[in-house]
Amino acid sequence: MGDVDEAVWRVFLALQAAVKSPPLENNDLDAALQCYAARLLELSPSLDALRSSSLIGDVDALLEDLGKELYVRHNQTENINHLDLAVEYSRLATKMTASDHPDYKTRLDFLAELLETRFKSEGFCPDIVDAVQLTRDAVIATNHNDDEIVCRWSDLGERLGRLYGSGGTIADIDEGIRYLSQAVKVTKDPIFLFDRLVELAFCLELRFDGLAEIEDLDKAISLRLQALQVTGDQDEEWLDCLQELRRDMKAQDTYWRTI
């Protein structure tokens, strides 16, 4: 853990210097990071103080870097407090970033990823709601000729599916299916195509569970069959897909037997 903590300290000290605030007299890294995040938030709700010409410097980039280093730290420690800190500093970086900034969309992407990660771990519904909105903002800000648009369609569709599965509305899953369908149509890479076919099938299964429209289950089966043919790598994900296909076919048979 020494190298990871050292990397976090380096960026943290650089951030304090860029903001031109007195360094915190605290040798406990986590406590110092928590206190400093609170201090930055107190400067101004909109962080206008940090946007002024005398302070702006590399503050936004340093906030982003600190969020990334904290995420690396979380991945090694699996400590939720480290993920919470990554979210806070990434959120600060995003708040400081104008919509015409070249890193605006990637910062939205990263914060959405952090929030989705925390949602998967903690099940806190506002995190997936925020992740959906951030991803939607990134999609809106992305030119449809941009190579990144397909990834963002896929991410938005997946997150809308998670939102629906956590108490969202039918409109959420409908929209998620539309975005995933768009992504599948233009995806050529077998690895990405497999993942997106599986995710689209999963969302259709969710909608079938809610509405009991057999067309959704039929389509999910077709997509899983296609996914299994896309790659010859019979890894764990491939086997999971095969298992889900069998469940879908059993559910399909049950449906027709009971009508």
Over range 196-203, report the average pLDDT: 98
Amino acid 207: pLDDT: 98
* Confidence at 54, pLDDT banded by 50, 70, 90: very low
Range picked from 13-17, 29-33, 99-103 for highest mean pLDDT: 99-103
- At position 47, the amino acid (one-letter code) is L
* Confidence at 96, pLDDT banded by 50, 70, 90: confident
Average pLDDT value over all residues in the chain: 89
User: For the segment 59-92, what is each residue's pLDDT rounded down to a tens digit?
Assistant: 888 889 999 999 999 999 999 999 999 999 999 9
Amino acid 158: pLDDT: 98
Q: Read off φ and ψ for residue 167, nearest 5 degrees.
A: 100, 15
pLDDT at 50 over 80: no
Please give the structure tokens belonging to residue 240.
């999971």
Over range 181-190, report the average pLDDT: 97
Q: What gap in Å lies between CA 127 and CA 29, rounded to an integer?
A: 25
* Confidence at 7, pLDDT banded by 50, 70, 90: confident
Say if residues 76 and 117 touch (Cβ distance below 8 Å): no
Over range 96-104, report the average pLDDT: 91
Chain mean position to CA 217 = 27
* Confidence at 241, pLDDT banded by 50, 70, 90: very high
Amino acid 49: pLDDT: 53
In the block, tokens 């943290």 appear at: 12
Encode the chain in three state secondary structure.
CHHHHHHHHHHHHHHHHHHCCCCCCCCCHHHHHHHHHHHHHHHCCCCHHHHCCCCCCCHHHHHHHHHHHHHHHHHHHCCHHHHHHHHHHHHHHHHCCCCCCCCHHHHHHHHHHHHHHHHHHHCCHHHHHHHHHHHHHHHHHCCCCCCCHHHHHHHHHHHHHHHHHCCCCHHHHHHHHHHHHHHHHHCCCHHHHHHHHHHHHHHHHHHHHHHCCHHHHHHHHHHHHHHHHHCCCCCHHHHHHHHHHHHHHHHHHHHHHHC
* Confidence at 53, pLDDT banded by 50, 70, 90: very low
Number of residues in the chain:
259
pTM for the full predicted model:
0.87
Give the count of beta carbons closer than 10 Å to the beta carbon of residue 146.
12
User: For the segment 208-240, what is each residue's pLDDT rounded down to a tens digit?
Assistant: 999 999 999 999 999 999 999 998 788 999 999
Q: Where are the domains of the chain?
A: 1-96
Range picked from 40-44, 72-76, 115-119 for highest mean pLDDT: 115-119
Q: What gap in Å lies between CA 109 and CA 87, rounded to an integer?
A: 12
Over range 133-143, report the average pLDDT: 97
